[in-house]
Amino acid sequence: MADIIKKATRESYGETLAELADEYKNLVVLDADLAAATKTGVFKKACPDRFFDCGIAEANMMGVAAGLSTCGVIPFASTFAMFAAGRAFEIIRNSIGYPHLNVKIGATHAGVSVGEDGATHQCNEDIALMRTIPGMTIVNPADDVEARAAVRAAVEFNGPMYLRFGRLATPVFNDKNTYKFELGKGVLLRDGKDITIIATGLMVSEALIAGEELEKVGIDARIINIHTIKPIDKDIICKAAKETGRIVTVEEHSIIGGLGSAVADVVTELCPVPVHKIGVNDVFGFSGPGDKLLKEFGLSSENIVATVKKVLTNK
């Protein structure tokens, strides 16, 4: 995977919106004075009359998006995850979630890999917050190919959706000619019988690297990509639980309320096996280069390998 192409999913987001503009004349984009960072500036350049900069007023932007959706348009409201899920939570809950409006929230710069912006901008709580809103669909794509497919799926889907994108460039491992995106369906990337690693977003590529390293020491790990965290694919999780007996979840998010919690909810109800969570351990982030912060918080293939070995040793 050393020579693989890398691209940030936020770039995929902006480019795909622009590509869909001609096909979906009712698609509009809103941003909170961050178009250069969220990459919605690409859409703005292509369709300036369908782009609305709402300024640094994220809650108001969500209200505007809600209103626009009642007029037959498909609004994508874009800002950093911290300000979308955090600052605007109440408006998303009451003005978008409660009436179940067709609003898409493009949340970029999620997780600790935001880097130098520090704890105030590193959102490790957004999935947990969005999971509590009834009817909210949550998608966290892993690479450029999946992110593009997710944006298209969002346009075609009727209902509120939270799309989570990263700042850092991430390896592109999916084949654009063969990859098929299905909302609510997990993706089996590597079969295995000893243990299951379930990852989402930026951590999927790290899980794949970990799988290769584990194979070298005789550990056969099953790797699953969960891009849709809500509704989650219960079938693929339970099948893995029953066939491998151990699950390790990996996410660039708090271990509270995110992917690990969603998987544990399924497992405890339907197919009980031990679940070990790798994520941000109930602490705030801090400023630093994004790639170094990932390693600092244990969000790396090396820590996945070490954790799997430990879990299997304690079996």
Catalytic residues: 58
Distance CA 211, CA 196 (A): 10
Distance CA 54, CA 68 (A): 13
Distance CA 124, CA 158 (A): 27
Which two three-digit tokens encode residue 204?
């999927």
Closest CA to 163 of 88, 78, 90: 78
DSSP state of 176: T
- Rounded to the nearest 5 degrees, what angle is found at the Cα of 276, between the Cα atoms of 273 and 278? 155
Tokens 């999780």, residue located: 237
- Count helices and strands (H / E) in the chain: 13, 14
**CA-based max dimension of the chain:** 60
Distance CA 254, CA 120 (A): 15
Q: What is the DSSP string of 76-106?
A: EEEEEHIIIIIITHHHIIIIIITTT---EEE
